[in-house]
Amino acid sequence: MHAFVSPTPDATPVWLVSPDNWEGVKTSIDAAATAFAERCGFKPKAGRIQLLPGEGGTLAGALFGVDGESAPTRDPFAAGKLATSLPEGVYRFANAPHDADLAALGFLLALYRYNRFKSDSAPKPRLVAPDGVDRDRLERIAAAVAFGRDLVNAPANVLGPRALEQEAVKLAEQFDASVSMVRGEELLGANFPLIHAVGRAAGEEPRIVDFSWGREDAPKVALIGKGVTFDTGGLDIKPASGMELMKKDMGGAATALTLARLVMQEGLDLRLRVVIPIVENAISAPAMRPGDVLISRKGLSVEVGNTDAEGRLILADALALADEEAPELMLDFATLTGAARVALGPDLPPFYTDDEALAGSIGAHAARVRDPLWRLPLWRPYEAMIEGTVGDISNSGSGGGMAGSITAALFLRRFVDKAKAWAHFDVYAWNPKPRAHGPAGGEIQAARALFELLTERYPRR
Ligand code: BES
Ligand code: ZN
Ligand code: ZN
């Protein structure tokens, strides 16, 4: 599914047609085909697909409408629509896409389906990799994204804390990383009190997975991901509508693991550390309560204003751990707040950093590979909103939900000290509707952008 086919002489040509080149394309397809397309009402508009009949019931080719040079809404992944619309067969682009890499990647990403419980036997179109693209690299990216989407799509009854740990360990072992984990009561002895407090009410024990990979003296890069396999909200229970999608609350962990896989399979020259705190935020007698005060790994006392703000609690201990070895770069990913999606919608995750150079670089790489990210501020005056009444800080704050994604980021910042640079990504990890580059359901955001950034900074030796 994540692969191109090798060039064959009989691959069906697909012409990418915009208002700018339609007249030119007409001269390269035969007159009968042009007449047929026009009789069918084909217009060179983005997203239109027109099949061209050949002799004896065959398919001579297809026209695919794309935006012209001047269109502000140009979707570089639009070609993904071909993967879900064309009949089974082998296709090639007859003229060069505006961005061949993204068009080809869009096609592979669009073929993805979560098929663990529902087989998708519909025959699929296949694409000959366009000229000039690094075919193997694109296939590796598509496979890594599919791996991450599978994790997000897996329901919480099959991907609980134990299974998510196993997935992380399996990935680490595939690349000969050294991996360790701490579970259940041992979290207290190993000083992860917040991870324990959030996860102790669940049927499967809370845990932390920690793996390291790469040349030991290479620059240190740490990835941290929120691994809440299901978020009921805890005692501050969510309403049904708010709980519906909460199997995706390990989307940050899936993002961190996807990025880790990209880094390892590419062999980038860095010392990678991946820290995944894993819990189910459940309800039973030992559940943490609103008003509880917890002493974190770092020593800060944290007041539980709301048991539904569990992500920042487990991340606090995980960030503190990764921070202890003063990495050059620390990146965390989390489906942390509903407020992020209210501010920017599902497709544009906000990110936070105090490092201006890093912010610029993240923005540039995100734009280049069309994995959009938008910087929001670590707005210091709002620190007042996370002050605790009896503890140092509160996990819910006093803002009444105002600036919720910002106050969550400010909370995390308190646990980062020694890292030379840190950025936090409040991802949604979900497509509410099908996109050109993938179906509705689990999505991996920010990983491709950061893979570009890391590839530029730490190229393989
Ligand atoms: N996992 C949720 C955040 C979330 C909700 C992400 C919906 C994507 C879609 C998180 O644990 C949470 O519940 N956050 C609360 C925090 C609040 C209680 C301070 C929120 O955002 O409402
Ligand atoms: Zn929550
Ligand atoms: Zn959550």
Tell me the longest C-alpha to C-alpha distance in the chain.
Answer: 81
The whole-number pLDDT of residue 72 equals: 66
Quote the ligand 3 centre to 428 CA distance (angstroms).
Answer: 11
Among protein residues, the one with the nearest Cα to ligand 1's atom 22 is 338
In short, whether 231's Cβ falls inside 6 Å of ligand 1 is yes
310: how many CB neighbours lie within 10 A of its CB? 29
Among protein residues, the one with the nearest Cα to ligand 1's atom 19 is 396
Residues near ligand 2 ion, CB 5 Å cutoff: 231, 308, 310
Q: Which has the closest alpha carbon to 258: 106, 427, 133? A: 427
pTM over 0.75, yes/no: yes
d(CA 329, CA 73): 33
The whole-number pLDDT of residue 70 equals: 76
d(CA 378, CA 362): 16
Task: Give pLDDT tens digits along the chain (461 positions).
Answer: 789 999 999 999 999 999 999 999 999 898 899 999 999 999 999 999 999 999 888 999 999 999 887 776 678 899 999 999 999 999 999 999 989 999 999 999 999 999 999 988 888 999 999 999 999 999 999 999 999 999 999 999 999 999 999 999 999 999 999 999 999 999 999 999 999 999 999 999 999 999 999 999 999 999 999 999 999 999 999 999 999 999 999 999 999 999 999 999 999 999 999 999 999 999 999 999 999 999 999 999 999 999 999 999 999 999 999 999 999 999 999 999 999 999 999 999 999 999 999 999 999 999 999 999 999 999 999 999 999 999 999 999 888 889 999 999 999 999 999 999 999 999 999 999 999 999 999 999 999 999 999 999 999 98
The torsion angles phi and psi of 208, rounded to 5 degrees, stand at -135, 135
Quote the ligand 1 centre to 338 CA distance (angstroms).
Answer: 5
In short, whether 371's Cβ falls inside 6 Å of ligand 1 is no
Tell me the three state secondary structure of residue 426.
strand
Q: 320 to each of 183, 206, 256, 286, how far by Cα in Å? A: 18, 17, 17, 25
Tokens in use for 163?
A: 């299974």
**Catalytic-labelled residue, pool 238, 368, 375, 457:** 238
In short, whether 337's Cβ falls inside 6 Å of ligand 1 is yes
**Catalytic-labelled residue, pool 312, 341, 370, 414:** 312
Q: Which has the closest alpha carbon to 1: 96, 119, 173? A: 119
118 is catalytic: no
Beta strands in 18-87 (DSSP E): 49-53, 59-65
Q: Are 381 and 407 in contact (CB under 8 A)?
A: no
- Output helix, strand, coil percentages for the chain, rounded to the nearest 5: 35, 20, 45
In short, whether 310's Cβ falls inside 6 Å of ligand 1 is yes
Residues 6+ apart with CB under 8 A from 68: 18, 19, 20
The whole-number pLDDT of residue 122 equals: 83
Q: Are 416 and 322 in contact (CB under 8 A)?
A: no
Residues 6+ apart with CB under 8 A from 384: 398
Mutate to test the pocket of ligand 1, among 194, 241, 248, 308 (most ligand atoms within 8 A of CB): 308
In short, whether 311's Cβ falls inside 6 Å of ligand 1 is yes
Got the DSSP string for 165-196? HHHHHHHHHHTT-EEEEEETTHHHHTT-HHHH
Quote the ligand 3 centre to 381 CA distance (angstroms).
Answer: 25
Q: Are 438 and 149 in contact (CB under 8 A)?
A: yes
Q: Which has the closest alpha carbon to 156: 197, 119, 203, 109? A: 203
Tokens in use for 68?
A: 């012209």
Counted residue by residue, the chain has a size of 461
Beta strands in 177-322 (DSSP E): 178-183, 207-213, 220-225, 227-231, 271-281, 293-295, 301-303
Tell me the three state secondary structure of residue 415.
coil
In short, whether 309's Cβ falls inside 6 Å of ligand 1 is yes
The torsion angles phi and psi of 263, rounded to 5 degrees, stand at -65, -45
368 is catalytic: no
416: how many CB neighbours lie within 10 A of its CB? 19
Among all bound ligands, the one having the nearest atom to the CA of 339 is: 1
Q: What is the DSSP letter of 384?
A: G
Element (H, E) at 302: strand 301-303
d(CA 273, CA 220): 7
For residue 400, the one-letter residue type is G
Residues near ligand 3 ion, CB 5 Å cutoff: 228, 231, 249, 311
Span between the terminal Cα atoms of the chain, in Å? 30
